Each structure stands twice: as structure tokens, then as C-alpha cells.
Amino acid sequence: MLFPKKVKHRKWQTNRISEARRNRPDTRGITVSYGEYGLKATSASRVKSNQIEAARRVISRTM
């Protein structure tokens, strides 16, 4: 990953998700843009880019 070596504040701020937003089902982003298969999150949490890349490699390897 490419990150700057010296920055004033290293810790990134993350957004707080409200309780109403957390319990509401998603209506946006439920269609697959490319291909026929995709990943779907079953719980609300942060996913790092290397985790997404690892999942993509496993899916492409098994198909």
C-alpha cells in the first residue's frame, strides 16, 4: 500500500453510523455491475482493501 511517511495526523477519522441507518435494509448497490457473481456483506463493519483482494483471488481461482 502506498501511504505518505510523514503526516500531521496518522489516525483516520471513521464515520459513526446511526441506529436507524444500521437497522434499515439496503436498497442501493444490490445489483452486480461487472460479471455474474459478487460479495455481499452480512454485517456492518470495515473491510480492508487486502481482504477484498484476497476474496477476489479465491473467487477467481475456484471458478
Q: Is the pLDDT of residue 1 over 70?
A: no
pTM of the model: 0.42
pLDDT digits (tens, 9 = 90+) for 4-56: 677 777 777 777 777 767 677 767 777 787 878 777 777 878 888 888 888 88
Distances (CA, A) of 48 to 7, 8, 22, 51: 21, 23, 20, 5
What does the DSSP 8-state code read for residue 45? Answer: -
| Average pLDDT taken over every residue of the chain | 77
Domain boundaries, the chain: 39-63
User: Where residue 3 falls among pLDDT bands split at 50, 70, 90?
Assistant: low
